[in-house]
Amino acid sequence: MGRWEPGARERLVVAAVDLFTEQGYDATTVAQIAERAGLTRSTFFRHFSDKRELLVAGQETLSRLLADGVAEAPASATPLEAVAVGLERASAAMGPANRELGPRIKAAVAASTELQERDALKSVGMAAAMTAALVARGVPDPTAHLASELGVLAFKRGYARWSETDGDTGGLAACSLAALEDLRAATATLG
Nearer to a copy of itself, 93 or 120 (CB): 120
Burial letters 128-163, b for 16+ CB under 10 A, else e: ebbbebbeeeebeeeebbbbbbbbbbbbbbbbebbb
**Beta carbons within 8 Å of 101's beta carbon, 6+ residues apart:** 13, 14, 17, 163
Determine the Cα–Cα distance for residues 90 and 179; give it in Å rounded to an integer. 15
Smallest gap from residue 70 Cβ to a copy of itself (A): 13
Cα separation, 95 vs 66, whole angstroms: 16
Q: How far is the CB of 117 from a copy of itself (least distance, A)?
A: 4
Residue 114 carries which side chain, given as an amino acid letter?
E
Q: Site map for a copy of itself, 132-171, x if CB under 8 A?
A: --------x-xx-xxx-xx--x------------------
Residues 98-127 contacting a copy of itself, CB under 8 A: 113, 116-118, 120-121, 123-124
Q: Please check whether residue 51 is in contact with residue 19, taking contact to mean a CB–CB distance below 8 angstroms.
A: no
* Least CB distance to a copy of itself at residue 134 (A): 10
81 is a contact residue toward a copy of itself (CB under 8 A): yes
Backbone angles phi, psi at 190, to 5 degrees: -75, -25
Q: Least CB distance from residue 135 to a copy of itself, whole Å? A: 13
Q: Which is nearer to a copy of itself, 36 or 145 (CB)?
A: 145
User: Among residues 34, 54, 63, 79, which is the contact residue for a copy of itself, using CB under 8 A?
Assistant: 79
Residues in contact with a copy of itself by the rule CB under 8 A: 77-81, 113, 116-118, 120-121, 123-124, 140, 142-143, 145-147, 149-150, 153, 182-187, 189-191
